[in-house]
Structure 1
Amino acid sequence: MSYKVFIDGSSGTTGLRIADRLAGRPELELLHIAEADRKDVEKRAAVINSADLAFLCLPDAASKEVIPLVKPEVKVLDTSTAFRTAPGWVYGFPELRGQREKIRTANRVAVPGCHASGFIVLARPLVEMGLVPADYPFSCHSLTGYSGGGKKMIAEYEDAARPALYSTPRAYGLTLHHKHLPEMTAVSGLTAAPVFCPIVDDYYSGMEVTVPLRMDLLPGVTPEAVSKALADYYAGEKLFTVHPLGQLPGDGMLAAGALQGTDRIELYTTASPDGSQMLLISLFDNLGKGSSGAAVQCMNIMLGLDETAGLE
């Protein structure tokens, strides 16, 4: 069976990566729109309504503009932040318990944010399984390559005349009002948003998210129990590797770009010698499991195809 698929916003970073992953798949027919019609909402909606499934790789406002014109039976995957906590939309993270079946039967799926994915994959299982309370004071640092900022930031970083300080890590979102915070809070089941510090650095892609835990705030919970809980939660997931407690590469360091070009995610857990502190780490590509890879994975599920088809 062949499915008609349209990528609205196919010239952006995420849209281009999705198109790459769909290229050459005989079960998919990619629909296109004339260049002159790309900003005409009525014409975009017409193409979307002729598809079995559409990806919206657009700014929030453009997604919100077109969705009211889309037929309810057309399957839509939105990659913006517009609908990630909206009623009637399913959060597109299949590995969370119960989520895969919701995605399978949904016509409206919101693809997770990259930073949010790295936090939720660590926090959600621990809250869900009762090891960490919903009111725990979570904090999170997330290091990303500059492709996470889209075409504008890529151009800035790759400009030969860029400011010298672009070669150093730069923290942003310093007003503590980052756009990923609502989904990080809601999907993880928290009563308050984590303190979140995103950082962009001078490399193209790859993401490393760290979440510390103070074990004195978790009476009766050990680092071993936390590590085992994460391993059990994601057991059997094809795109996941959960490393044993304390297992790190030979030099004891983790490079944020280690999974560049893949659609996988790896989780690490470490603890202080006395077990009083832990560090939870998720490692993945912000363009893979952090965006376009996640979108294609959800598409495969929604269309009843092999979940990892087209993924790396």
Structure 2
Amino acid sequence: MKPKIYIDGQSGTTGLQIYDRIGKRDDLELLRIDEDKRHDVEERKKFINAADIVFLCLPDAEAVHAVSLVGNDHVKIIDASTAHRTADGWAYGFPELKKGQREEIASSHRIANPGCHATGFISTVAPLVQAGILPKDYPVSFFSLTGYSGGGKKMIASYEADGRPESLSAPGIYGRNLKHKHIPEMVKYTGLSHTPVFLPVVDDYYKGMAGTLMLQNRMLNHGATAEDIWQAYKKHYDGETFVSVADMDEKPGTLYANELSGSNRLKIYVCGSDENTAITAVFDNLGKGASGAAVQNMNIALGLDETTGLV
């Protein structure tokens, strides 16, 4: 019998992207609610409890309510919202985080999909903390460049509208209150003891993300160099399919944030001088940063090859 899959919030950007990745698969049965009943609580409850996997592509409060509709111990929830990313009892859906993370995802009935900016941050910071290179109290600074699709339907419409403001042709720095909603998961899953300074930037291209961590080598443990940092990433991500580490002499010039658009891959670039090191994670904000990661987590939760349906 094919696993039954239901997307609650199937008309949003993430829901549509998940559907694009699984809609043509013949190893799954995709349950589709009638368009005129997608806000009907009782109808949604019926679909949620009929499924093996439910993707929640909803605002936070609605995601919490959707979980309350589960009436059995069979269905597995993969929540793409922020609501449960640091909640007790929820597995964090970044399989490459640490040893045993895949097993935690596979055995859990509640899986929180990571935030897009958080994916870039955690993929670069966590391995260095785990390796003992980056002190937990290091004053971390991080910026993350994203395409406008990460802002959802309203932002997409504003960028693609005729006669849009000229300001949208330039990069836009936002989250300047330094309280971005991804910060709690950034701290929890890296083990940092202090909140990082994090600024996201949105620009005039559809999708793709580049998150950059900037380090002063003199403040690192054990006199670590850029070469040591590169070696730590190579060891941490050895054997991974979707996360890779570029050779240090690969692409010494300009990096473009959309180079992995359309894929579920994330690539880490390390560059450095004697005094400083910069690390950039490049990936698709709608792929490894959202729907691609959700499908990867679904594959793990169902005991399938986690690469199924993904590139």
**TM norm structure 1:** 0.97
- Measure how far apart 1:149 and its partner are: 0.3
Q: Is this contact kept in 2: 1:93–1:99, CA < 8 A?
A: yes
Q: In the alignment, is residue 283 of structure 1 matched against residue 245 of structure 2?
A: no
Q: In the alignment, is residue 229 of structure 1 matched against residue 228 of structure 2?
A: no
- Measure how far apart 1:282 and its partner are: 0.1
2:73 aligns with 72
1:244 aligns with 247
- Measure how far apart 1:192 and its partner are: 1.3
- Measure how far apart 1:69 and its partner are: 1.6
> Number of residue pairs matched?
308
1:255 aligns with 256
CA distance in 1, matches of 2:184, 2:42: 30
CA displacement 1:51-110 (0-9 Å, x = unmatched): 011100111011011111213321010000000000010000011112111001111000
1:17 aligns with 17
- Measure how far apart 1:267 and its partner are: 0.3
Q: Is this contact kept in 2: 1:15–1:292, CA < 8 A?
A: yes
Gaps of 5+ in 2: none
CA distance in 2, matches of 1:308, 1:92: 15
CA distance in 1, matches of 2:29, 2:165: 43
Matches within 5 A, 1:206-217: 206-217=208-219
Matches within 5 A, 1:48-197: 48-70=48-70, 71-97=72-98, 98-197=100-199
SS at match of 1:188: coil
Partner AA of 2:217 in structure 1: M
Matches within 5 A, 1:36-47: 36-47=36-47
CA distance in 2, matches of 1:120, 1:18: 22
Partner AA of 1:152 in structure 2: K
- Measure how far apart 1:41 and its partner are: 2.4
Identical-residue share of aligned pairs (%): 54
Partner AA of 1:260 in structure 2: S
Q: Is this contact kept in 2: 1:60–1:80, CA < 8 A?
A: yes
CA distance in 2, matches of 1:193, 1:103: 26
Q: In the alignment, is residue 297 of structure 1 matched against residue 288 of structure 2?
A: no
Q: Is this contact kept in 1: 2:145–2:202, CA < 8 A?
A: yes
- Measure how far apart 1:287 and its partner are: 0.6
Q: Is this contact kept in 1: 2:226–2:277, CA < 8 A?
A: yes
Q: Is this contact kept in 2: 1:41–1:65, CA < 8 A?
A: no
SS at match of 2:189: helix
CA distance in 1, matches of 2:113, 2:20: 18
CA distance in 2, matches of 1:185, 1:75: 26
2:306 aligns with 307
CA distance in 2, matches of 1:285, 1:32: 26
Root-mean-square deviation (CA, aligned residues, Å) is 1.0
CA distance in 2, matches of 1:243, 1:19: 31
Q: Which moved more, 1:199-208 or 1:58-67?
A: 58-67
CA distance in 1, matches of 2:159, 2:18: 23
**TM norm structure 2:** 0.97
SS at match of 1:130: coil
Partner AA of 1:232 in structure 2: K
Runs ≥4 residues deviating over 6 A = none
